[in-house]
Structure 1
Amino acid sequence: MINIFRAFNPLNILWLAILVFILRLGYIVEAPDKLQFVFVEPFARLLVPVAYEYAFSPIENVCIAAVLVLGQAVLLNYLVNKYNLLGRATFLPSLMYVTLSSLFPPFMVLSAPLICNFLIIWMLFKLFSFYKGEDAKSAAYDLGMITALGSIIYLPYVYLFLAIWIALIIFRPFNWREWISGVLGYFTVFFFFGVYYYLNNRLGSFYNIWAPLGSKFPNSISINNYNYLVLIPVIIALILFVFTFQQNYYKSYVQVRKSFQLLLFVFLLGGVSFYVKGRFNLNHFVLCIIPAAVFLSYYFAYASRKWFYESLYLLLLISIIYFQFNTF
């Protein structure tokens, strides 16, 4: 499987579509009677004045989510190849994205974090362009607006705003105008959002939008450890990525090294922002899949022992399918 996607062959899109279906087949069989889909925060419910939460049947919900995942996988693959992050053209990023997006049942359904992954990919296109761009003010302004849009869809996305400043630190010399541009872009969206609240006599509620950001970081999280055994192959591959990337670090272009530094921060920001939501939901970590997919694809692109990396990926596929039918 890995060798097939190492080659840059457009026919791999067909294999991706088949894999997306196979990895969701078990969940479709065991799907609940109803699946709720909420794609905007409660404070933005005024923007969507119709009932949509149960507009799709469970099968329709999962199938639409699968189409979105396939589209995101192709976009991510284009991004990685455009900026030559792996040093070669390949379809591995799309393969890893499709695989990681099937790790847990909450990843496989329509959700706000899944929709926000389109925004993360859009942001990465603009963030990576900082390296060779002469003027980043307009891009930073656009990025601020994208982050604001993501915050309306899913409030923890607001932490991705820090990725703009981190990218400016990594890619560019300090320019206060570029730093302020991102802030202006963010508040431009919420200015018009505030006007909309005012016109609907809800301005008092507008001030409470960011109240969850003051929540304390939880001391513990109750999880079923057995269901998380599926992460073992992923953790092994991530550890191997660290060693592989370390060996090739000084052989890579400066832009590639800086891009992976940024991806690491995006991964961390996406992960730690989960506490903003009052109720912990595993689908939040869909925000971490994009950088994780790039990390895994880097390892599999440079792995040399075929029997090992093919077995590791096969173990991951088997684990995903197995735990879909065994929830303990």
Structure 2
Amino acid sequence: MALVTTTEMFKKAYEGGYAIGAFNVNNMEIIQGITEAAGEMKSPVILQVSAGARKYANHAYLIKLVEAALEVNDIPMALHLDHGADFEVCKSCIDGGFSSVMIDGSHHNFADNMELTKKVVDYAHERGVVVEGELGQLAGVEDDVNVAAEDASYTNPDQVEEFVAKTGVDSLAIAIGTSHGAFKFKPGQKPQLRFDILEEIERRLPQFPIVLHGASSVSQEYVKIIKENGGKLEDAIGIPEDMLRQAAKSSVCKINIDSDLRLAFTAGVRQALVADPTAFDPRAYLKVARSNIKELVSHKIKNVLGSDNTL
């Protein structure tokens, strides 16, 4: 099966009251764990590549790894650029085989964000690639995204209709209380998604695909394993999964998950090496990490996204 765009995925997700998981990938084991889980759960999936992942793994390597996953798993997969910072990065991914890109102009003013987004949309649509735009800014740090809490802003529903109409984007990432990075909220803080903003956006953009970034739940199971095996992590909590499931039943058709994958992978490596300090074969400890990725993604698909058995 060849790569697909998210157009048909999102149409079915909207109608079916579920969301598609957009899982960030960095290496072979992560791609294997994600796609094996999606295949067994009969779920479409979005493999998402950040600027940091392209720098680390190299664009060409990532493309070939995804092509291998397509040969092994007979499920719809989209390959998506996460947080494209400018036109040149988006163009490179469009020309280089991605089926979907995000142009993140949220740090610009409204007019400049629209101008940049439309430029990417025009180029992408001519080549059969879909585009995600963003309005509002999430706080947090993840790869090349770094937004201080005081600079974060909720999406303004009064802007969404004009933005979508003038840019032609295929989906819209909004800010309603999620946050980038693993350590979103300190213990004692109460994470709260602004469903009132989401509902107003839904009213203004009927049947239009909405995206949530920064939606990891910071699995305490993996945090505990890392700490028990010598890792030092801050105490923190993520977005409650019941809130994400509620969002997935609405117009939210894509939910991004990255930090949870990193925690699961790191927990597997640490646990394996502490259990056998003499281990030197990377296949041994990376196998455990890959298994954790598969287990986590299966859980997210079934219990958070609701996209299992939709193929």
Structure (1/2) with the larger strand percentage: 2
Larger Rg: 1
Q: Would the TM-score normalized by the shorter structure come out above 0.5?
A: no
TM-score category by the smaller chain?
0.3 to 0.5
TM-score (norm 1): 0.33
TM-score (norm 2): 0.35
Structure (1/2) with the larger helix percentage: 1
